[in-house]
Amino acid sequence: MMRDLRPLISPDSIAIIGASSNPGRVGGMPLALLLQHGYAGRIYPINPKYTDISGLTCYPDVESLPGPADLAVLAIAAEDVVASLKRCHAKGIPAAIVFAAGFAEAGDAGKALQDELEQFAAASGMIVAGPNCMGFANLNTHAYTAFASVFKNTPPPAQPGNTALVTQSGNVCAAVYSVGRKQGVGYNYVINTGNEACLEFSEYLEWLVEDESTHCVAGYVEGLRDGARFVRTVARARELNKPLILLKVGDSSKGQEAAASHTASLAGDQRVYKAALRQLGVMRADDLAHMADLCYLAQFRHKTGGKRIAIVTISGALGALLSDRFSDHGVEIPTLPADVQATLRAGIPDYGMVSNPIDITGNVVNQQGFFAEALGTVLDCAEVDAIVMYAPGYLLDRLTPELVEAAGKTDKLIAAIDTGNATVRETLEQAGIPVFTETGRAVAALSSFLHWQDGRRATWRPMPQRAAMTASALDIVETVRSKKRVALDEAEGKKLLASFGVPVAHEAVATNPAEAASMAQRIGFPCVLKILSPDILHKTEIGGVRLNIGSAQEAASACEEILAAARAKMPDARLTGVLLQRQEKSAAELLVGVTRDPVFGLVMTVGLGGILTELYQDVAQRILPVDAAMAQEMLRELRAWPLLDGYRGRQPADVTAACQAIAAVSEAALALGPELSELEVNPLMLRAAGEGAVAVDALAMLTPREK
C-alpha cells in the first residue's frame, strides 16, 4: 500500500523544532530559506528561548502551537528525537524530518536510538524522514526544509521544473543540484533520504512517480532495501513514460566497501544491480555531471528514437573523433544510403564527407538554404534515429535558423555540440535541441540516453511474477523436505525441470553393475555414467563420472569403479546409485543458472560455461521471469554469441530450443518461488539447429527451513 507523502514533501504548514534566527545554524537555515524563497504556508518556529524569530511568532513547545502542522522539522540532538516525535504525534502532526546524525551510522548506541525511532514510527504510522538527512526542497511551493547552503547560494530558478532528485547522500544532493542547475535542469523536488530508518528510497520514488508535477526522477543510491517495491515502481514509471536516472555506487569492490560503510546499506550483487537496472529501463549515470546531463536530456521529452546517429560537422577531424567516441559507447553510425549521399553531395564539395560522419565543410554557410535541405534529407532517412551536430560557436550561431526549422519538422532528436561561445543556446533549447559544450560529456550523456531510448522499445514487458507448480515438482519438494534435505539429487532436479517442459537427457538409474549393463544396452552407446547422490555436488572431482562408455561390459565395470570411488572418497555420502545417459554430441553448451539476490529476488544467469567464460565474465543476467524472447536477447548479448550462430563455418546451434528451455527453467524457478535457493542446468547441450536442446546435468537447492 502506498502512503501519501504529501505532508512530508508538500506541507501546507511547517513547525521547526529547535528554530534559530542564525541561518548558519541547522535550525536557522530552513527558516531563512523559507523566508528567502517566499513559502506561502504557515511557519511555526519552536524554541523556548525566543518569543519571535525573524518576525514570526516563536512557540516554546509543540504543545503550544495553535493547531497541528503538516510537518515537523527536528533540528535537535539525536537523543531528544524520539521524545519530540511522540509529542508531535500527540499534537496530530503526521510527518517529520529528522536532521540529527548519531543514529545507525554511529556505533551501537546510535543503532539502539535508531531502533527506537523505527519502532515508534511503525507503531504510530507517523511519516518520518531521516535521521541523518539534510532535508528537502520543494521548488513548487518553496517549502525548503533543508539545511543546505546550496539553496541559498544558487540563484533561485525563475520557475520550477519537472525533475525530482532523491539521494542517499547530502553531499551528492547538493552537488548534483548545483551541477544540474548550471546545465539547465529544472528541479521540482530535492530530497535527501539519510539513514532511511522508516522511509526507504523506493517509497519516495513511488510517490514521486505518481506525482503530477514530476516528469523525471533522478536518484543517487548506495543500496536498495525494498527491491520488490523498486521493481514495481519502475514498471509504473514506464507506464507513465517518466524516465528514471540512477547514479548507483558500488560497482567496484572499493566503492562497495565505501557505500556499505557509509549508510550500512544492503550491498546486493553489483552485477545483478547492473543487469537489473538495464533490464528495467533505468538510465544509469556514472558521475555527477553525467547525471545532470541525463536529466537535461530527459527534459526534451517529446523526442523518440534509437541508437543510430548521423554526425554532422564542419571538420573531418571532429567527425572522426566523435565517431570514435560514440563507437566506444556502442552507438551506431550507419553509412547513409546512396540516394541520401547523392543529395548531400550536390551541396558538399569533394573534400567534404557525405557517408556519415558528414562533413558539410565551412563552405555550407555560403549556400543559402542548402543546410536545411541536407538536415531534412538526413532526418527523413529511416536508418537514422538522431542527428548530432558539432560545430564551432560562430558557425552554430549562423546555422541555428536552419536547425530550428529542421527540428520543427521531425520527432527525431537533434542535439548540438558547440566547441565554444555559441550565443544561440536558448533558441536551440526552445526548439527542442539540447546543447552541450564539451565533447566528452556530450558523448557520454547522448550515448546513455540513446541506448535507453533504444532499449525502451523492446527490453522489458510486464510478465506474470508467479507460475503454477506441477504435481511432480510438489512431490519432489515434499520428498526432499521430508528427508530434511535441501539439495535435490541430479535425477530429482531433472525430473522437476522436465515437469516444467525443460528437455532432459534420456536416462536411467542403476544400483549395481548388472543393472548398469542392461540399462546401457537399452539407452545406446556411447553413454555416460555418473554417481548419483544428494551429498555429492562435484562428481568429477571424486572420480564419479565416466565418459565414452562403448559397451555393456564397460558400463558394468564403470559402475563398479564409480561406486567404489565414491565410497572411498566420501564415505558418509548417501549413494542413490549410478545415473546412465546417452552421451550427447553437441553444437554448443550453455550454463543456465538461477540464484536468489537479496535485493532483486530470483535472477537468471546464462553463459557458455567453462573456464574461459568465467575468466572473460561473459554472461547475461535478468531478473525473472525470462521468456523465450528475452532468452534470445540474453544469448545475443554474449560476446560468444557467434559460436552459437555459425561462426566461421561452425554448425549453428538450436537457439530456438535453447530459448524455450531457458524460459522453462525460469518458469520452474518462479513456481518454486520462496522455496528455491538455487537452480542450475550445466550444461544445457544444444544440438544443431532444428535438433533440440537437452539438460544434461541439473543442480537444485531449496531454501533452508527456519528451525
- Residue showing cell 521471469: 625
Written as nine digits, the cell of 258 is 565505501
Region of 577 please: left (phi>0), alpha (psi -120 to 50) or beta: left
Q: Which is nearer to its own copies, 129 or 588 (CB)?
A: 588
CB of 682 to its own copies, least distance (A): 16
Q: Which is nearer to its own copies, 534 or 609 (CB)?
A: 609
Among candidates 206, 142, 208, 136, which has minimal Cα distance to 173? 136
Contact assessment for residue 262 and residue 222, using Cβ atoms and an 8 Å cutoff: yes
Amino acid at 402: E
CB of 695 to its own copies, least distance (A): 23
Phi, psi of 167 (to 5 degrees): -135, 150
CB of 474 to its own copies, least distance (A): 38
Cα distance between residue 624 and residue 275, in whole Å: 12
436 three-class SS: strand
Q: Which is nearer to its own copies, 179 or 245 (CB)?
A: 179
Q: Which is nearer to its own copies, 444 or 531 (CB)?
A: 444
Produce one character per residue of 369-390: b if its CB has 16 or more CB atoms within 10 Å, e if not.
Answer: ebbbbbbbbbbebeebbbbbbb
158 CB-contact burial (10 Å; exposed 0-12 / middle 13-18 / buried 19+): exposed
Q: Which is nearer to its own copies, 383 or 618 (CB)?
A: 618
Q: Which is nearer to its own copies, 159 or 617 (CB)?
A: 617
CB of 323 to its own copies, least distance (A): 4
Contact assessment for residue 684 and residue 503, using Cβ atoms and an 8 Å cutoff: no
Region of 359 please: left (phi>0), alpha (psi -120 to 50) or beta: beta
CB of 314 to its own copies, least distance (A): 7
Q: Which is nearer to its own copies, 242 or 248 (CB)?
A: 248
Cα distance between residue 474 and residue 486, in whole Å: 14
CB of 373 to its own copies, least distance (A): 22
Could you tell me which residues come within 8 angstroms of residue 74 by beta carbon, excluding any fewer than 6 positions away? 17, 18, 81, 84, 85, 96, 97, 98, 99, 100
Q: Which is nearer to its own copies, 306 or 319 (CB)?
A: 319
- How many Cα neighbours within 13 Å face the side chain of 267? 15
Q: Which is nearer to its own copies, 49 or 648 (CB)?
A: 648
Q: Which is nearer to its own copies, 25 or 262 (CB)?
A: 262
Q: Which is nearer to its own copies, 310 or 594 (CB)?
A: 310
CB of 103 to its own copies, least distance (A): 10
CB of 250 to its own copies, least distance (A): 6
CB of 650 to its own copies, least distance (A): 8
CB of 278 to its own copies, least distance (A): 16
Cα distance between residue 635 and residue 297, in whole Å: 31
CB of 79 to its own copies, least distance (A): 16
CB of 18 to its own copies, least distance (A): 19
Q: Which is nearer to its own copies, 493 or 607 (CB)?
A: 607
Produce one character per residue of 160-169: b if its CB has 16 or more CB atoms within 10 Å, e if not.
Answer: bbbbbbbbbb
Give me the torsion for CA of 131, 137, 138, 142, rounded to 10°. 120
Contact assessment for residue 510 and residue 519, using Cβ atoms and an 8 Å cutoff: yes
Q: Which is nearer to its own copies, 261 or 521 (CB)?
A: 261
CB of 454 to its own copies, least distance (A): 18
Written as nine digits, the cell of 223 is 543500496
Among candidates 323, 317, 363, 325, which has minimal Cα distance to 344? 363
Phi, psi of 448 (to 5 degrees): -60, -40
CB of 612 to its own copies, least distance (A): 5
Written as nine digits, the cell of 573 is 555420502
Q: Which is nearer to its own copies, 62 or 311 (CB)?
A: 311
Q: Which is nearer to its own copies, 451 or 494 (CB)?
A: 451
How many of the other CB atoms lie within 10 Å of CB of 565?
15
Sheet holding 216-221, edge to edge: 143-144, 135-138, 187-192, 163-167, 216-221, 244-248, 283-285
Contact assessment for residue 520 and residue 527, using Cβ atoms and an 8 Å cutoff: yes
Cα distance between residue 249 and residue 255, in whole Å: 6
Q: Which is nearer to its own copies, 235 or 320 (CB)?
A: 320
| Residue length of the chain | 707
Cα distance between residue 400 and residue 397, in whole Å: 5
Written as nine digits, the cell of 182 is 548550471
CB of 107 to its own copies, least distance (A): 5
496 three-class SS: helix
Written as nine digits, the cell of 592 is 543456465
Contact assessment for residue 194 and residue 96, using Cβ atoms and an 8 Å cutoff: no
DSSP 704: P
CB of 456 to its own copies, least distance (A): 25
Q: Which is nearer to its own copies, 247 or 477 (CB)?
A: 247
CB of 310 to its own copies, least distance (A): 11
Cα distance between residue 591 and residue 657, in whole Å: 14
Q: Which helix (H) or strand (E) holds 565?
A: helix 552-569
CB of 589 to its own copies, least distance (A): 13
Q: Which is nearer to its own copies, 335 or 430 (CB)?
A: 335
- Measure CA of the first residue to CA of the last residue in the chain; give whole Å: 31
